Homo-oligomer: A and B are copies of this chain.
Amino acid sequence: MKRYEAVARAIGERIEQGLYRVGDRLPSIRRLCQEFQVSVSTAQEAYRRLEEAGAVEARPRSGYFVAPRVTPSVLPRVSRPARRPLDVSQWDQVLELVGESPDQDRLLRLGRGIPDLDAATLRPLLRRLSTLHRRAGAQDLNYDSLAGSLELRRQIARLATASGCLLHPDDLLVTTGCQEALSLSLRTLAGPGDVVAVDSPSFYGTMQILKAQGLKALEIPTDPQTGISLAALELALEQWPVRAIQITPTCNNPLGYTMPETRKRALVALAQRFDVAIVEDDIYGDLAFTTPRPRTIKSFDDDGRVLLCSSFSKTLVPGLRVGWIAPGRYRDQVLHMKYVSTGASATLPQLAVAEFIAHGHYERHLREMVRQYQRQRDIMLGWVARDFPQGTGVSYPQGGFLLWLELPGEVDCVRLNARLAEERLHIAPGSLFSASGKYRHCLRLNYAAALTGAVEAAVKRVGEIAASLLVEHAGMPE
Q: Could you list which residues of chain A lie within 8 angstroms of chain B, going by C-beta atoms?
A: 91, 94-95, 98-100, 114, 117-119, 122, 125-126, 129-130, 132-134, 136-147, 176-177, 179-180, 183, 187, 191-192, 205, 208-209, 211-214, 317-321, 335-337, 339-349
* Complex Cα gap A284–B29 (Å): 69
* Complex Cα gap A282–B261 (Å): 52
- Once the chains bind, are A98 and B339 in contact (CB under 8 Å)? yes
Identify the 3 closest CB pairs spanning chains A and B, nearest first. Answer: A141-B319, A141-B317, A117-B138
The verdict on A134 contacting B130 (CB below 8 Å), with A176-B176, A208-B336, A340-B208 known, is yes
* Complex Cα gap A139–B348 (Å): 18
- Once the chains bind, are A147 and B346 in contact (CB under 8 Å)? no
Q: Out of B122, B130, B142, B205, name the residue touching A117 (CB < 8 Å).
A: B142
B residues in contact with A177, CB < 8 Å = 342-343
- Once the chains bind, are A319 and B144 in contact (CB under 8 Å)? yes
The verdict on A98 contacting B143 (CB below 8 Å), with A177-B342, A320-B346, A340-B208 known, is yes
B residues in contact with A114, CB < 8 Å = 142-143
- Once the chains bind, are A137 and B126 in contact (CB under 8 Å)? yes
- Once the chains bind, are A100 and B346 in contact (CB under 8 Å)? no
* Complex Cα gap A335–B100 (Å): 10
B residues in contact with A187, CB < 8 Å = 212
The verdict on A321 contacting B336 (CB below 8 Å), with A130-B134, A146-B98, A146-B100 known, is no
Copies in the complex: 2
* Complex Cα gap A153–B58 (Å): 52
The verdict on A205 contacting B318 (CB below 8 Å), with A126-B137, A191-B214 known, is no
- Once the chains bind, are A142 and B346 in contact (CB under 8 Å)? no
- Once the chains bind, are B142 and A136 in contact (CB under 8 Å)? no
* Complex Cα gap A326–B340 (Å): 19
Q: Out of B136, B318, B319, name the residue touching A129 (CB < 8 Å).
A: B136
Q: Out of B132, B145, B340, B342, name the residue touching A99 (CB < 8 Å).
A: B145
B residues in contact with A319, CB < 8 Å = 140-144, 344, 346-348
- Once the chains bind, are B343 and A321 in contact (CB under 8 Å)? yes
A196 to chain B, nearest CB (A): 13
B residues in contact with A94, CB < 8 Å = 339
Closest residue to A145 on the B side, CB-wise? B100
Query: Other CB < 8 Å A-B pairs besides A117-B138, A118-B139, A132-B133, 20 of them?
Result: A94-B339, A98-B143, A98-B339, A98-B344, A122-B138, A125-B138, A129-B136, A133-B134, A143-B318, A176-B321, A176-B342, A180-B341, A183-B340, A183-B342, A191-B214, A208-B336, A212-B340, A321-B345, A321-B346, A341-B341
Q: Out of B99, B119, B137, name the residue touching A138 (CB < 8 Å).
A: B119
A157 to chain B, nearest CB (A): 16
Q: 14 A-B Cβ contacts within 8 A?
A: A99-B145, A100-B146, A126-B138, A129-B136, A130-B136, A133-B134, A141-B320, A176-B343, A180-B343, A183-B340, A212-B337, A212-B340, A320-B346, A346-B346
- Once the chains bind, are B138 and A343 in contact (CB under 8 Å)? no
B residues in contact with A337, CB < 8 Å = 212
B residues in contact with A125, CB < 8 Å = 138
B residues in contact with A118, CB < 8 Å = 138-139
* Complex Cα gap A146–B95 (Å): 9
Q: Of A117, A205, A211, A343, which is in contact with the most chain B CB atoms at under 10 Å from its CB?
A: A343
Q: Of A176, A192, A347, which is in contact with the most chain B CB atoms at under 10 Å from its CB?
A: A176
B residues in contact with A146, CB < 8 Å = 95, 98, 100
* Complex Cα gap A99–B339 (Å): 12
A105 to chain B, nearest CB (A): 9
B residues in contact with A318, CB < 8 Å = 141-143, 344
A98 to chain B, nearest CB (A): 6
B residues in contact with A122, CB < 8 Å = 138
Closest residue to A179 on the B side, CB-wise? B343
- Once the chains bind, are B209 and A340 in contact (CB under 8 Å)? yes
Closest residue to A134 on the B side, CB-wise? B130
- Once the chains bind, are A317 and B117 in contact (CB under 8 Å)? no
- Once the chains bind, are A129 and B133 in contact (CB under 8 Å)? yes
Q: Of A114, A342, A349, which is in contact with the most chain B CB atoms at under 10 Å from its CB?
A: A342
